[in-house]
Structure 1
Amino acid sequence: MINLLVLYHSLTGNVERFVNRLNLNCVKIEKDLIMIEPYILITYTTGFGEVPRPVKDFLTLNGHFIKGVIGSGNINWGKHFCGAAETISKQYDVPLLHKFEQSGNANDVEKIKQEVLNIV
């Protein structure tokens, strides 16, 4: 079983609070980060279901190593809830592993731990 790296980007701190509870190998996306191994991506959504610019830029350089995506959002956005994760899933042909609201709850944490451990 491979323990994949979990990469994330956080604007308001919700995603960062969430990944801090995962107890997995998590790394925040920074400018010019280059990947040499597979990873799972956790991202928030901006605007009306759009992928945040820093995440787009990162994927332009590193999209070939993505194995799955997880979305954070606010359910009040309706059909745009976790739209960035949906877009990335389709664009890179990877599974959308889970969507959680804001900084998630204990069930979200356990679900994602299992999903990450099950990705090969």
Structure 2
Amino acid sequence: MVHLYYDSRTGNVQRFINKVVQITGWQAHQIADDIDVPEAGHLVTYTTKIGSMPDKTVAFMNAYAEKIFSVTSSGNRNWGRNFGLAADKVSENYDVPLAMKFELSGTMEDINQFIDIIKNQYNDSKRGSKKLDIA
């Protein structure tokens, strides 16, 4: 079973996760102060303040980085080179492979690409190289 841990402020990531879960049946867990992380999984977060990691994401990664296989981030292309920058920062700061970035709540193409990446290119294996970075 694939586990997704996610942080959502405006609902964009929540909508993306809901679509992924509806298609796959994977387990989704929203990051909260009292979150329990029973299984390793993948992080989906958002970018805030034009290129920053959300505070909840930072706290979560400080506690559970060793259980995260990959990171994906929502962003807004209006931010130019800062688009989805939270994923780059999580990847760099916690040595977690970057799976992908998507705009706002993602398109069906984004959702299908994410599912493909998680199922076929990572498949819940141990963290390896950063070769997942196809964003």
Q: Could you tell me the TM-score, scaled by structure 1's length?
A: 0.92
Are 1:36 and 1:65, in contact at CA under 8 Å, matched by a contact in 2? no
SS in 2 for 1:22: helix
| Alpha-carbon distance in structure 2 between the residues aligned to 1:82 and 1:38 | 23
Structure 2 residue aligned with 1:33: 35
Mapped to 2, the partners of 1:20 and 1:35 lie a distance apart of 19
Deviations 1:70-113 (A, max 9, x none): 01010000111111111001112221111100000011111111
Query: Which residue of structure 2 aligns with residue 88 of structure 1?
Result: 90
Aligned residues with identical type, % of pairs: 37
Tell me the amino acid that sits aligned with residue 111 of structure 1: Q
In the alignment, is the contact (CA less than 8 A) between 2:61 and 2:94 conserved in 1? Answer: no
Please give the per-residue CA displacement for 1:7-47, whole angstroms capped at 9, x wherever unaligned: 10100000001110002211111112132321100000111
Structure 1 stretches of at least 4 aligned residues deviating more than 3 Å after TM superposition: none
Q: Over aligned residues, Cα RMSD in angstroms? A: 1.1
**What is the correspondence of 1:1-120 to structure 2 with a 5 Å cutoff?**
3-23=1-21, 24-118=26-120, 119=122, 120=125
In structure 2, the residue corresponding to 1:108 is in which secondary structure? helix
Contact 1:69/1:97, CA 8 A, preserved across alignment: yes
Gaps of 5+ in 2: 126-135
Higher relative contact order (CA 8 A, sep 6+): 1
Contact 2:7–2:44, Cα closer than 8 Å, also in 1: yes
Once residues 99 and 91 of structure 1 are traced to their aligned partners in structure 2, the CA distance between those partners, rounded to angstroms, is 17
SS in 1 for 2:19: coil
